[in-house]
Structure 1
Amino acid sequence: MRCWPNLLVGILLWLISACAAAQIQTAAPGVFYSVALHDIADSEDQLDDSGITSDRLVAFFEWLAGNDWTPIRLDDIARAQRGEIRLPEKAILLTVDDGRSSTFTRVYPLALTYRFPVVAAVVGRWMDTPAGETVTYGRQQLPRSAFITWDEARQMQASGFIEFASHTFNLHREEIGNPQGNGLPAAVTRRYDPARGYENEAAYRARIRRDLQRARDGMQKHLGRAPRALVWPYGRYNQTTLEIARAMGFEFSFTLDPEPAQLAAPSSAVPMEIARYLPTENPSLGEWVSAMQFIDPWTNTRRIVPLNPAAFASGSAQVTNLRLGTALENLLTLGTTNVLIDALAADEHGRIEASWFPTETLPLRQDLLSRLAAQMSARAGTRVIIRFPHRQALHTLGSTAAVEQLCRDLGRYVPFDGLLLEDVASLARQPADPQDTPWQMRARRQRTDFSHWPLADRLAMRCFAIIEEERSGLQLFWRAPQYYPLMRGAALADVTLVPGPTSNPIPLARDARDPAPPDGLSPYQHIAHRTGLWGYTGGKANVAEIRNAILHYQSYGGTTFGWEPQDLIDNRPPADILAPTNSARAFPPRGTFKKDTTPPADQPGEKAP
């Protein structure tokens, strides 16, 4: 083991000042906090985005010890779940993923020194790689020595302070997820084979089950016990993978959902979706403590730009790639945080004709939606919102069952972050509570009875729920009716977009139905992160109108804005002119994008950058 003789002395003064700035928030009953560590290194130049320097990890452990936090074990969670004990008010679960060598040389010594229990997750294939060979870690090759050995794992386990969890056997990688060759997270992707097409549900379930079982068997062999906890690679999971893990006997599973962790609902025997905070970019202690407790949990800035797959569709892969490259450059210039992509193809009268993803219910215009979504996320650093016209789909397909299957296929085959629903008037019934957190709002949505809603509105919420089963963490965007009060977010929507002509911005007045803000705070500050202005500029977007509308909206505290039309291929209106007004303040998000000038991959088997 290595030691750092002057480390604590060197950080002492910094630690005292950082602790004074750190905020402490007491958890509600049944709620605790969890941190997902990865690699630990002595200097920043040795880190990747999720790495932490040794001095900052020591500072964090020292802060926990000095501020009466109680690091807990999985046993504590299990007992609390059974009602045998109550978790401490300041409980924290420490975890470390991937089994990097620093788990043994950095985290383990600290666990022994501070007497802190830690859950460590290892990947079976990496652990089984022979000495002297390399491990495929993301998109780089690392020597086997960069990871712990089974001997080291046994030594750590014997201490009583390290419990090992499965990080799967070989799901910590990407699978080819579409005909164009985009690599997508293996656990939630129906892989694409050029000869056989997409993996069917039976094959997908069997693949996940085999992998989890192989990892369990390996840990049983090398550690003498099967793991009771499962850590999803990249934090990606869905209800199918949870169902399989639960049936196999896993008692816990861990995500990277950005929220406090909590015990399972009374109806569930085990907590299978334990959320964790992932510290990135080597945060200072103050940043770490604040972010870990999700004190300001709503996304504070969104710039949304629409995208129609029809503009990219072509019989020539080269033409499609050229159009896509141009669009990506213009998105970067605009400083966009979200793209809004249409899921279905319609004729000039708005009637649904086909889909942009494989489905059993509509003709396939071109299998393009997954490609666009993956490239916008990976190469432009944007989050993807899919616009789903549920009323038009119902009119075309004629049955709610067919629309539900359409939604199920959308969730299975397309990677995206948010679903935009339009014409759901029932969402206007209850205004957003300014004190709600995203997880409180989501829980309210899940327990709401929609049976008394009109058929089309009920179908919209059913579609969202179906897709959410495949895309955990999915956000609901709702386009409100015109002249809906801009500051009144919908209680059941993450984001409410209010449409209006940019030449005549919607007044930001409050009415009696809006919740009263707490004393001393403007009402706009409380709902601003859950509402946005969606501008319509007619047949031709006008730069001056868009800029004036953004500035007017921002003067009232607004942070979410979008408009249409926007031609990302012909660059109308010009991105460089709009960028100074539109660009998000912190774009691209730190660690999410590095500009890549290579052309998009187009052949099956290639992984797009």
Structure 2
Amino acid sequence: MVADLVKRALYRSGLLGLYHRIRNRRALTVIMFHRVLASADPRWASCDPDYTLEAGLFERCLQFFRRHYTIVSSDQVLAARRHGIPLPDRALLITFDDGWADNHAHALPLLRAAGIPALLFTVADVVDREEAFFQEQLVAGFRLGRIQVPALAAALADAGHALPVAPADSLEGLRMAIARLETLRPAERRQVLAPFDDAMGDGVRQMLTRDELLELAGSGVAIGVHGKTHVPMTRAGDLQAELATARAIVARHLGSVAPPTLSYPHGRYDDTVLARTRDAGYELAFTSDPVMNSVEGRPSWLLGRLGFEQAGIVDGAGRFRPDFLALYLFRAPRERLAA
């Protein structure tokens, strides 16, 4: 109780804001979102709660960003990188990963109403696709009561991919099974999941259509690339496809030049991936490294991002707590990830 009162007091007094204005003046904060859903949306009951923000809370976050930062577009960050045009103090860029249809349905109207730009990274192969990634399909099946984690663990064991410990029938247990599935080759994974095909997903369209992608692009949301298939690039069988081919596919969807921005699926990259990213023509690459980016001089071409779960910005009654968000964002480490 005392700690909670101290957090509120630090924020309401303006001391946290003053600390931020001084400490983070020459930093670029990049925010990483995934899904935004209204609680009345049928997808709310089946989404992954760790990667989903309720639309009203998303709107409160936008208000928080406008109060404490200067929100910039990806074009401004590119101009700073290309031409040395300084970014404003306490710059902040909003990004979305994957290519979810709810970004169009719920996030875009709120961004438009606030006059805020953003950058959305889409997986090239999911545009116009109905189903979500296998991880989210499993979460949906579990949350709707159609999949039990012990049964999934047994299927893994029967296929020779047993988990080291028996997982609980919970979201945490499911994530253990998903992590094991992510290490399998696609054919192996399909074999394990075949008995669960009818139970996976929720039957609602999940991914962006081309028309929705074009509307986003015409409404202040720049479009970048998130790989071709969503496989971690450190495990990609065809890195050229995940980088250069994906860039060409997204360009065709947009009917425009190839996007100059990329975010790494699952946040995974290594030295080889970094070198191939530059070779494929990307000018900015975004990681999941939880840092603010120093922008003394030109910003780096490799940028960290700060993501957060809904549970981290609300109190026990589900009320938005700007002090929680401030304490997380304002104190994040500052780094320059590359030259």
| TM-score where L is the length of structure 2 | 0.66
**Is this contact kept in 2: 1:19–1:63, CA < 8 A?**
no
Residues 145, 217 of structure 1: alpha-carbon distance in 2 compared, 3 angstrom cutoff: same
**Is this contact kept in 2: 1:254–1:276, CA < 8 A?**
yes
Cα distance in 1 for partners of 2:287, 2:99 equals 17
Cα distance in 2 for partners of 1:235, 1:28 equals 24
* TM superposition outliers: structure 1 runs of 4+ over 3 Å: 16-19, 27-30, 43-47, 141-144, 262-266, 437-440
Cα distance in 1 for partners of 2:77, 2:334 equals 23
Q: Does 1:290 align with 2:291?
A: no
Quote how far apart the aligned CAs of 1:80 are: 2.1
**Is this contact kept in 2: 1:264–1:272, CA < 8 A?**
no
Q: Which amino acid aligns with 2:113?
A: T
SS in 2 for 1:35: strand
Cα distance in 1 for partners of 2:13, 2:204 equals 40
Cα-to-partner distance string for 1:260-313 (whole Å, 9 max, x where unaligned)? 0234986xxx733211111124423322232123x1x5xxxxxxxxxxxxxxxx
Cα distance in 1 for partners of 2:126, 2:13 equals 40
Residues 213, 31 of structure 1: alpha-carbon distance in 2 compared, 3 angstrom cutoff: same
Cα distance in 1 for partners of 2:282, 2:272 equals 14
2:60: which partner in 1?
59
Residues 122, 278 of structure 1: alpha-carbon distance in 2 compared, 3 angstrom cutoff: same
**What is the identity percentage for the equivalent residue pairs of Structure 1 and Structure 2?**
20
Q: Which amino acid aligns with 1:288?
A: L
**Is this contact kept in 2: 1:98–1:123, CA < 8 A?**
yes
- Structure with the bigger percentage of helix: 2
**Which residue of 233, 248, 269 maps to 1:217?**
248
Cα distance in 1 for partners of 2:269, 2:326 equals 26
Residues 139, 53 of structure 1: alpha-carbon distance in 2 compared, 3 angstrom cutoff: closer
SS in 2 for 1:34: strand
SS in 1 for 2:132: strand
Pairing 1:430-579 to 2, within 5 Å after superposition: 439=335
**Is this contact kept in 2: 1:40–1:51, CA < 8 A?**
yes
1:138: which partner in 2?
135
Pairing 1:166-177 to 2, within 5 Å after superposition: 166-170=225-229, 172-173=230-231
Cα distance in 2 for partners of 1:18, 1:98 equals 36
2:192: which partner in 1?
none
Q: How many residues align?
A: 251
Cα distance in 2 for partners of 1:55, 1:18 equals 24
1:20: which partner in 2?
12
For structure 2, which runs of at least 5 residues remain unmatched after alignment?
1-7, 138-199, 315-321
Q: Does 1:163 align with 2:252?
A: no
Quote how far apart the aligned CAs of 1:63 are: 2.0
Q: Does 1:227 align with 2:259?
A: yes
Cα distance in 2 for partners of 1:211, 1:145 equals 24
Pairing 1:6-155 to 2, within 5 Å after superposition: 20=12, 23-24=16-17, 25-26=20-21, 28=24, 30-43=26-39, 46-65=47-66, 67=67, 69-82=69-82, 84-129=84-129, 131=130, 134-138=131-135, 140=137, 141-142=200-201, 143=203, 145-155=205-215
Cα-to-partner distance string for 1:428-480 (whole Å, 9 max, x where unaligned)? xxxxxxxxx5848xx8xx99xxxxxxxxxxxxxxxxxxxxxxxxxxxxxxxxx
Residues 122, 21 of structure 1: alpha-carbon distance in 2 compared, 3 angstrom cutoff: farther
Q: Which amino acid aligns with 1:111?
A: L
Cα distance in 2 for partners of 1:116, 1:17 equals 29
Cα distance in 1 for partners of 2:82, 2:245 equals 29
For structure 1, which runs of at least 5 residues remain unmatched after alignment?
1-15, 174-185, 191-203, 298-436, 448-609
**Which residue of 235, 240, 248 maps to 1:189?**
235
Cα-to-partner distance string for 1:368-409 (whole Å, 9 max, x where unaligned)? xxxxxxxxxxxxxxxxxxxxxxxxxxxxxxxxxxxxxxxxxx
Quote how far apart the aligned CAs of 1:48 are: 1.9
SS in 1 for 2:119: strand
Quote how far apart the aligned CAs of 1:97 are: 0.9
Cα distance in 2 for partners of 1:224, 1:144 equals 27
**Is this contact kept in 2: 1:94–1:119, CA < 8 A?**
yes
Residues 59, 438 of structure 1: alpha-carbon distance in 2 compared, 3 angstrom cutoff: closer
Residues 162, 208 of structure 1: alpha-carbon distance in 2 compared, 3 angstrom cutoff: same
Q: Which has the higher contact order (CA 8 A, sep 6+)?
A: 2
SS in 2 for 1:62: helix
SS in 2 for 1:102: helix
Cα distance in 2 for partners of 1:113, 1:139 equals 29
SS in 2 for 1:253: strand
Quote how far apart the aligned CAs of 1:210 are: 2.0
**Is this contact kept in 2: 1:50–1:280, CA < 8 A?**
yes
Cα distance in 1 for partners of 2:59, 2:11 equals 13
SS in 1 for 2:302: coil
**Which residue of 244, 250, 254 maps to 2:282?**
250
Range that drifts further, 69-78 or 247-256: 69-78
1:518: which partner in 2?
none
2:309: which partner in 1?
280
**Is this contact kept in 1: 2:37–2:102, CA < 8 A?**
yes
Q: Which amino acid aligns with 2:69?
A: W
**Is this contact kept in 2: 1:47–1:53, CA < 8 A?**
no
SS in 1 for 2:59: helix
Cα distance in 1 for partners of 2:289, 2:80 equals 21
Larger Rg: 1
| TM-score where L is the length of structure 1 | 0.38
Quote how far apart the aligned CAs of 1:154 are: 0.6
2:272: which partner in 1?
240
Quote how far apart the aligned CAs of 1:114 are: 0.8
**Is this contact kept in 2: 1:30–1:86, CA < 8 A?**
no
Cα distance in 1 for partners of 2:116, 2:204 equals 28
Cα distance in 1 for partners of 2:10, 2:296 equals 34
